[in-house]
Structure 1
Amino acid sequence: MTTTILSIETPSLGDRSYLVHDGEVAFVVDPQRDIDRVLDAADRAGVRITHVFETHIHNDYVTGGFALARQTGAAYFVNAEDEVSFERTPIHDGDVVEVGPTMRVRAMHTPGHTFTHLSYVLEGEEPAVFSGGSLLFGSTGRPDLLGEEHTHALVRHQYSSARRLATELSADTKVMPTHGFGSFCSATSAGESTTASTIGQERLVNPVLSQDEADYVADVLAGLDAYPAYYVHMGPANAAGPTASDLSEPERADKDQLRRRLEAGEWLVDLRTRTAFAAGHVPGTFNFGLDGQFATYLGWLIPWGTPVTLLGESAEQVAEAQRELSRIGIDRPAAAATGRPEEWTDAPLAQLPSATFADLAQVLHHRTVTVLDVRRVSEWREAHIDGAVHLPIHDIVKRMDEVPAGEVWVHCASGYRASISASLIAATGRRVVVIDDSFDRCVAAAGLPVVSEADPVSA
């Protein structure tokens, strides 16, 4: 009987879950909180979910494993060494689980992303390894999410675990990671492939399998950058056995309620594209467009527990945002409104001027403005505009008083993060322009002086 592996992707968080079946029964690996996607996939395949496997206590999203197991009656496998507050089926390194008559799943202890991380090997004629946050496509999971005091031990564990997988598994074993598709759980940027890989392929391209341990450790530690602040809330939530997402429609807010919520200091989040937001928006609202890593950046920046009201063009847009937020533990929007911004306020709409790097070059010939770079530290070190001020997007809220006085032109690598940051700055009453342009055009199209920390000579 043929085994089928279906990946259930969450591109906004950079993760994948897996539904594996033989045409009759199925097991699931690392499901996200909105389990209706998994249930729908199983229903379309005409299979019954009997087993759910968790590779680790996740740091970047709220798991759906506990809720899925309860709803389906499946056995829920979590490392016996993990401290959790719910009933589970404990599993250890080397344990083999028979899933139906045809599928054998073997647990392998692969610490590094966490101390108790497990990978699961689907044995048979077409082997696969569900490697979670261990061996990724061209990379490995980051080792610093449990605190700085554990990072050096975990990065060495990660090296050994990747080597164990590459040594003990055959070259044709498919590699099926949970992280590494844009997730901040990846230690470094993933390799070129985002669709498929094998142990044999990883032996050729993955640095962890070609470098010696000292070089790997040094490169990973040097490359670690900030990760989303909401991660700190995910581990405790997952250890407590979270419920499934509540995706029922939020309360509808009229103009008066929206005004009151703004005055109370709550967050009103405009889900539209940055172009639409720039053209006209409710003063004091923030732009986190659904066309980017919406949940990652909103969860990173918002003071945890602040009520969120969603403003969208349609009910479908609000529903998508609500689903995204539930995955990171923002359970219910305080309210929502749909339509056009003119329907959300009686006040005149605000606009957010936008420009290109070529426009910036022209402006700098005539007057002084602050160029604010909101990219990550690693991006800044690689190259930045000479004279720019660096304030990473994740620090904008808590370091707003460090934004220089006067006119501010904000940029990132493409415009998405710049729009978020500019909307936050504009809400304080500042004069701000968002540069909606690719950073690659700084030199090629605009002729702006670009330097790096490694080589301070202008490019």
Structure 2
Amino acid sequence: MTETNAVKREDRSAGGLAVEVIETSSLGDRSYLATDGEVAVVVDPQRDVDRVIAAAGRLGVRITLVVETHVHNDYVSGGLELARLTGAEYGVAAADEVPFERRPLSDGDVVELSPRMRLRALATPGHTFHHLSYALEGEDGPVGVFTGGSLLFGTTGRTDLLGEQQSEELARHQHASARKLAAILPDGAQIWPTHGFGSFCSATQASGDSATLGEQKRSNPALVLAEGDFVEQTLAGLDAYPAYYAHMGAQNAAGPEPLDLREPARAEPDELRRRLHHGEWVVDLRSRKAFVVSHLAGTVSLGLDGPMVTWLGWMIDWGAPITLVGESREQVAEAQRELARIGIDKFAAAAVGSPEQLAADPGQLRSTTTATFADLAAALDGNPAGKPAPEVVLDVRTNNEFAASHVTGAVHIPLYELKDRISEIPAGAVWVHCGSGYRATAAASLLEAHDLVVVLVDDAFGAAAEAGVPMTHRS
């Protein structure tokens, strides 16, 4: 079981209740299974519900209720399918109009799961208009709250997913909702958010791995800032979010189809070459360290050791044919699972093997020149040390990252815009970087496919200034 598919840990709550955390680190989200030892409720399950069913089986508990905090925009929900498979009730906000059978839940509704465990719905609009949080109550009262995209660790869910014209109103709702939770729940209540672990659904970067409501009262902007200051800070911090979000809400509201993880058709070397020749998305799932040593010309590097699903889903034209290339069938299967979580579950083909095994012609094999920020500093001083001299320094980080600090004179094109803006890059050798090397490797592969001369700066951006690279910082 990989980290992105893992049941990360078990949190023990007061009153004999237990909360199992089901981590999807590749999307920055968590699902939860809460139980009294006999029955269980599942909150915000991902599409691959076999992980949840396995957790319930390991604990020897029966899932009787599945609930959603909101209609999700960053992944396809597994809630409807999990309810079908287990016979559980499916709880969704009463205000959300959906075509499938569900238990409509509104502010204050209480579901008695057992004599020892209750779930109380709390209206917490902000991330969406109909957002619900769920207080988990034991025999002695509330022990925690599932906050979805409301109150996160050190931040809140973003408020612009329904359109910029709604973002200010929702930010005001978000502030009020956080304070509502703080007012009606005890300081010792655990907070169990769905977003905030790298998800673009959080307004700003979350901090920490766990928290109580009392701890958040001392640090969370929604609980320490006045409404106006919170709204201003929240709106100012919002950056672009993945393009695939446009498809998630509609799919969840309609009722997602059951998941199909059967292997794609196998592509032989000649077929791979044909797909590459036609400019299709052929995705190399190996680590970037392996990619730079050898790869097929035209393949795009999005290794499973990073947020492959986010960046592929963000960059592609929705519905474009995708071929997965991995070192093993297990790599391809993992990529399928990851991509199915955002509704990409139809593939043109897959191929397994080394680049040398998959090349129809040795002339397809390529390698990528790499460098560090120290190399870039030396090259900018006129000492490229055998590498192509940098005519262009390309920064593919997000807008907020670039605005905070960047290499002086760098050209900025975020990775998610690069495929449509390559013609804007000035002529000459391109030294491309990001924050760590993952996005820059993807960018380098796109640039190489357009026959540009590329040097990949595979280094942490924090090392740039110390290495002597000239920097421009936000004043």
TM-score range, shorter chain: over 0.9
* AA aligned opposite 2:60: G
CA distance in structure 1 between the partners assigned to 2:101 and 2:244 by the alignment? 26
Q: Percent identity?
A: 59
Cα-to-partner distance string for 1:279-301 (whole Å, 9 max, x where unaligned)? 11000100001111110011000
Cα-to-partner distance string for 1:163-199 (whole Å, 9 max, x where unaligned)? 10011111111100000001000001112x11x2111
Give 1:45-124 correspondences, 5 Å limit: 45-124=59-138
C-alpha RMSD of the superposition: 1.1
Q: Secondary structure at the match of 2:111?
A: strand
Give 1:8-407 correspondences, 5 Å limit: 8-124=22-138, 125=140, 127-191=143-207, 193-194=208-209, 196-347=210-361, 348=363, 349-366=365-382, 367-407=389-429
* AA aligned opposite 2:470: P
* AA aligned opposite 1:98: E
Cα-to-partner distance string for 1:281-338 (whole Å, 9 max, x where unaligned)? 0001000011111100110001111111111111111111110000000013221111
CA distance in structure 1 between the partners assigned to 2:131 and 2:159 by the alignment? 11
* AA aligned opposite 2:129: F
Deviation at 1:365, TM superposition (A): 2.4
* AA aligned opposite 2:289: T
Q: 2:470 aligns with which of 436, 449, 453?
A: 449
CA distance in structure 2 between the partners assigned to 1:263 and 1:17 by the alignment? 41
Deviation at 1:51, TM superposition (A): 0.3
TM-score, structure 2 normalization: 0.93
Corresponding position: 1:414 with 2:436: yes
Indicate if the aligned counterparts of 2:396 and 2:413 stay in contact, CA closer than 8 A: yes
Deviation at 1:440, TM superposition (A): 1.2
Indicate if the aligned counterparts of 1:2 and 1:22 stay in contact, CA closer than 8 A: yes
Q: Secondary structure at the match of 2:360?
A: coil
Indicate if the aligned counterparts of 1:34 and 1:244 stay in contact, CA closer than 8 A: no
CA distance in structure 1 between the partners assigned to 2:313 and 2:418 by the alignment? 13
* AA aligned opposite 1:451: T
TM-score, structure 1 normalization: 0.96
Corresponding position: 1:439 with 2:464: no
CA distance in structure 2 between the partners assigned to 1:40 and 1:255 by the alignment? 38
Structure 1 runs of 4+ with >4 Å offset: none
Cα-to-partner distance string for 1:58-80 (whole Å, 9 max, x where unaligned)? 00000000010111111000011
The alpha-carbon distance between structure 1 residues 200 and 368, as it changes in their structure 2 partners (threshold 3 A), is closer
Indicate if the aligned counterparts of 2:273 and 2:360 stay in contact, CA closer than 8 A: no
CA distance in structure 1 between the partners assigned to 2:32 and 2:46 by the alignment? 10
Deviation at 1:265, TM superposition (A): 2.7
CA distance in structure 2 between the partners assigned to 1:363 and 1:169 by the alignment? 58
* AA aligned opposite 2:469: L
CA distance in structure 1 between the partners assigned to 2:71 and 2:118 by the alignment? 23
CA distance in structure 2 between the partners assigned to 1:384 and 1:149 by the alignment? 30
Indicate if the aligned counterparts of 1:245 and 1:327 stay in contact, CA closer than 8 A: no
* AA aligned opposite 1:319: A
Deviation at 1:346, TM superposition (A): 2.3
CA distance in structure 2 between the partners assigned to 1:404 and 1:39 by the alignment? 53
Q: Secondary structure at the match of 2:45?
A: coil
Q: Secondary structure at the match of 1:183?
A: coil
Deviation at 1:368, TM superposition (A): 4.7
CA distance in structure 1 between the partners assigned to 2:63 and 2:257 by the alignment? 18
Deviation at 1:263, TM superposition (A): 2.5
Cα-to-partner distance string for 1:60-105 (whole Å, 9 max, x where unaligned)? 0000000101111110000111121211111111100011332111
CA distance in structure 1 between the partners assigned to 2:433 and 2:88 by the alignment? 48
CA distance in structure 2 between the partners assigned to 1:157 and 1:401 by the alignment? 42
Cα-to-partner distance string for 1:18-62 (whole Å, 9 max, x where unaligned)? 011111111100000000000100111111111000000000000
Query: In the comparison of the two structures, how many residue pairs are matched?
Result: 451
The alpha-carbon distance between structure 1 residues 70 and 181, as it changes in their structure 2 partners (threshold 3 A), is same
CA distance in structure 1 between the partners assigned to 2:463 and 2:390 by the alignment? 21
* AA aligned opposite 2:372: T
Cα-to-partner distance string for 1:360-406 (whole Å, 9 max, x where unaligned)? 12222234520000111111111111111111111101212112211
User: Which shifted more, 157-166 or 119-128?
Assistant: 119-128
Cα-to-partner distance string for 1:124-178 (whole Å, 9 max, x where unaligned)? 2361100000000111000000001111110000000001001111111110000
Could you tell me which runs of 5 or more consecutive residues in structure 1 were left unpaired when the two chains were aligned: none
CA distance in structure 2 between the partners assigned to 1:22 and 1:123 by the alignment? 11
Q: Secondary structure at the match of 1:310?
A: strand
